[in-house]
Structure 1
Amino acid sequence: MCAQFGGIATYVVNLLREWPRLFPADELHVLCSPDVERVLPSAGLTIHRVDVPRPVAINRPLIQSRHLRRLVRALRPDAVLATLPSTTVLRPGAPTVVVVYDLRHELRPEQFSLERRVLRRISYGRGYAVADAFVSISARSLRDLRRLHPRTARRPGSVVHLGADHVRSWSGRSRGTYAIAFGHHSNKNVELTLDAWQELAAAPPPGGLPPLRITGLGGAARASVEAQLRSRDLEELVELLPFLAPSDFEACFAGAGLIVFPSDFEGFGLPVVEGMLLGKPVVVGPDEAVLEVAGGHACVMGEWTSTALAGAVRAALAMNDEQLAAAEAHAAGFTWERTTRQTRSAVVAAARVP
């Protein structure tokens, strides 16, 4: 089960695209809702649809658990790969590997509503409890899991980084004249980014300050950021974009000249390696998981201040071709083939099959 958009969907879609190609003898069954089915690859999979009534956040764990147990009884699979920790709150009846993305709801609870914190605490907690093994998208997330849920240390855990080579198919690739940042969650630090752009506008870097596009803003969040733009006199320099359709987002990202990603908490930080693989300079904050995947090839703000972010932007705009090529070579190692092979190895080990 996964969302239609976002990092988890990217993971699931690419995993299910690669798996039948690499291991055609494996029989893959996928439990998903009809809206998610539309974004999944069709080759090599048997889809089992499940409708989740509203409110989805409350009903999904229970509906999934019931359908998953029925499916396991009918198919007798070697293993279950839970691509969300909340896939099941009951033991499904087969060895189960749970994918761990991040524990931000526990470590940054102020960034979530009370309802979402409670639902995640219950459903994710049960998912961790019923797992026979874990696949974590970063060493940081696995460490957080072991520390916050000590009983999980008794079960195997594998660090399996996400891939990024899906960006090679994105259209509109260029070293554009604008920067792109993200505003769909509070951990992306939009206000800090605006403060930095205000500082940079007052003292532009050599070659000038690129205009900034911030994606994923809608509703009350957009209205708040619009007011901040007016108060900072940044309306001519910053463009606010809503949640974009996948093709529009890909074109916007691929056409940017700079990726600004000062997130204060990530499980992985997919835009970092995506940007590097596209040959773009990337600016990041000193978040543990982001530093893990960046491998020393991003421009890092030394502290969580607008001045530090402005300095990192200046450094990124000054990166030379050799530095960008080294970053691209580093990001080229993040392939979905590697992700799929390592994920399957963890599943095979949990299932104890040849």
Structure 2
Amino acid sequence: MPERRAFLKTLGAGALGAAAAGVSTPPERSPTNATDGDKPSPPESAPTNWVWMGPELDVPEDEWKRRFERLRTHNIDAILPQVYSNSAAYYGSDFLPVEGEWLETILPIAKQAGLEVHGWMISMPCTIPEIVEAHKEWFVVNRNGESAVDAPAYVDYYKFTCPNRPGAQDFIERRVREITSIGGLDGIHFDYIRFPDVIIAEALQPKYGVVQNEEQAPYDYCYCDVCRSMFEEKHGSDPFDLENPPASMEWRLFRYESITNLVNDRLIPIARENDKAVSAATFPNWQSVRQRWHHWDLDYVHPMLYHNFYHAGANWVRDQTRAGIERLRGQGKSTRVYSGLNVGAVAPGGLKRLIEKAHEGGAQGITLFSAGSMNDALWNTFAETTARV
């Protein structure tokens, strides 16, 4: 284990030889102790197009070299490889279960190809048996008083930890600290940094056998003792005593702020200490997951504009991109916005239209979900379209 950690820590400094190879280094960011209301500004140069990548542990290095060179020739500038799922790490972690040392394999190859690498981390859900069994109090509780450990919403892995529980906060922080200490990694990418969906996207409701026209108790989180006492201390009432909890703006804002405070006050400062960029995968229907991401101090944001989940088309992608940018501007944020597209749901012609509409909406680039869903026709369309917009 110490050998693995030493490799990761020294990777960026010496093992890659980035300067000698002609590979650009991560751009500098503004100091984190800015005053007079200044926020760290995004890098002057930044990736244009990104792709999410799930772990593949048995692919040989020569094949990764071929794949990464192909990404570069098809207008991809940065990759988002998953380095932590809800249950295991894909690098040599010192404290998490390790599924495989995938990052150690791909990081130097990707960097030599000229790609930025931002580690994709599942944030709030946790299905590590030792954690679930020993720390049930870390997990969110719904309006029926049921723990996500006992009655997870929709699927079994929806065992979300609570953003207000000190133990859960420390566990997430420790992951962020370890990942952002990895040499050669350009940034950290937060996913599932939210509560469970109180209303799931309409096209997915039949899949899970639900009809949700309002916020229903089994999906409405978090009513744990800590959240309730914090809210009562601030507002003078227990959420359970509210006549109609979903209608309470104070209770809604409390959940929004719970996630925002975790991101801005506890996680982003760790990344900044380690000189890593910060990005997040976010929801267009952010209210339904209590994810007010336009208040976060991110460098990059990747709203998941999976149009098929919402019975929508390319114009919806344009409109959602524009709406997200406007919300960020309203908060004085200069975060760069990349429209996340679900390429598994489109043919080449549809992908072309989605890309064009995303750019009409003001996107500064595209993020593809995911590399495993792309084929030759889609890659050719992506390269041709992104070269023109």
Q: TM-score of the superposition, structure 2-length normalised? A: 0.28
> Between Structure 1 and Structure 2, which shows a larger proportion of helix residues?
1
Q: TM-score of the superposition, structure 1-length normalised? A: 0.30
